[in-house]
């Protein structure tokens, strides 16, 4: 177990360091190369989608790593906690959310045959590729993902008394700006150096918060009933 925990930590920490290095390079590029005002504005404008992609990529990689480590434990249906079991069943069998039409009898037969085999398997094999970030890892989506794996949610205000709101910084700032830019509304907003720093800060903070919860959940075996 110790080696598995260490491997989990090493993989996620290594990924975090790579992403921090990339954000650090973004922070220094316009200073190092002495952009003209127009070039700096263009660079800063397009830096926001890059910062968001660093954030979403981290979530995908972190939970893929977590699932891979869970799979190594060869947990049975009777062992695993209900949130993970439900997540696994729903991701394996989308028919639970969209049942086959009445005239698609062969699809129903196929569904129930696969369901029967599912309950006969010796251990769960969660597919790390079937991971839905809903294309926008908002604060509520993040906490939904944490809940799916029975991991402690992140509070909106991670530092009591500071007034720093993750909903405001992630949803209303980073995602709003990213979506505006992604929809091709060039010139609709101006991105400043302060905006870039603000975007980096929230991603940096969230990576630490997510990592600590994944690590704690694995150590404390929150994946078990």
**pLDDT tens profile 36-75:** 999 999 999 999 999 999 999 999 999 999 999 999 999 9
Give dist(CA 39, CA 4) in Å, integer.
47
Whose structure tokens read 């799979």?
Answer: 71
Give dist(CA 20, CA 80) in Å, integer.
34
Does the predicted TM-score (pTM) go above 0.85?
Answer: yes
Query: Following DSSP, what letter does each residue of 108-131 receive, concatenated?
Result: HHHHHHHHHHHHH-SS----TT--
Q: What would the pLDDT profile of 64-122 be if each residue is shown by its tens digit?
A: 999 999 999 999 988 999 999 989 888 877 776 666 566 677 777 777 777 766 766 76
Q: What would the pLDDT profile of 131-179 be if each residue is shown by its tens digit?
A: 778 779 999 999 999 999 999 999 999 998 899 999 999 999 999 999 9
At 41, list the tokens.
Answer: 């504005």
Q: What would the pLDDT profile of 176-190 be if each residue is shown by its tens digit?
A: 999 999 887 656 689
pLDDT of residue 110: 77
Q: Hey, which residues does 80 pair with through a beta bridge?
A: 224
pLDDT of residue 56: 97
At 151, list the tokens.
Answer: 């991991």
């Amino acid at each position: 177990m110790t080696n598995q925990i260490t491997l989990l930590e090493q993989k996620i920490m290594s990924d975090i360091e790579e992403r921090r290095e990339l954000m650090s390079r973004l922070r220094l590029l316009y200073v190092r190369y002495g952009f003209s005002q127009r070039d700096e504005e263009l660079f800063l404008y397009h830096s926001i989608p890059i910062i968001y992609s660093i954030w979403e990529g981290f979530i995908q990689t972190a939970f893929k790593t977590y699932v891979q480590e869970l799979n190594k434990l060869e947990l049975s249906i009777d062992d695993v906690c209900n949130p993970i079991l439900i997540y696994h069943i729903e991701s394996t069998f989308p028919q639970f959310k969209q049942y086959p039409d009445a005239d698609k009898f062969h699809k129903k037969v196929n569904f129930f045959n696969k369901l029967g085999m599912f309950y006969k398997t010796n251990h769960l094999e969660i597919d790390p590729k079937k991971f839905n970030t809903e294309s926008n890892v908002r604060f509520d989506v993040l906490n939904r993902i944490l809940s799916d794996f029975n991991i402690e949610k992140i509070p909106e205000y991670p530092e009591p008394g500071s007034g720093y709101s993750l909903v405001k910084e992630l949803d209303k700032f980073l995602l709003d700006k990213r979506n505006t830019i992604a929809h091709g509304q060039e010139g609709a907003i101006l991105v400043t150096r302060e905006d870039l720093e603000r975007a980096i800060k929230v991603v940096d903070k969230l990576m630490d918060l997510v990592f600590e919860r994944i690590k704690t959940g694995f150590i404390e075996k929150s994946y078990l009933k």
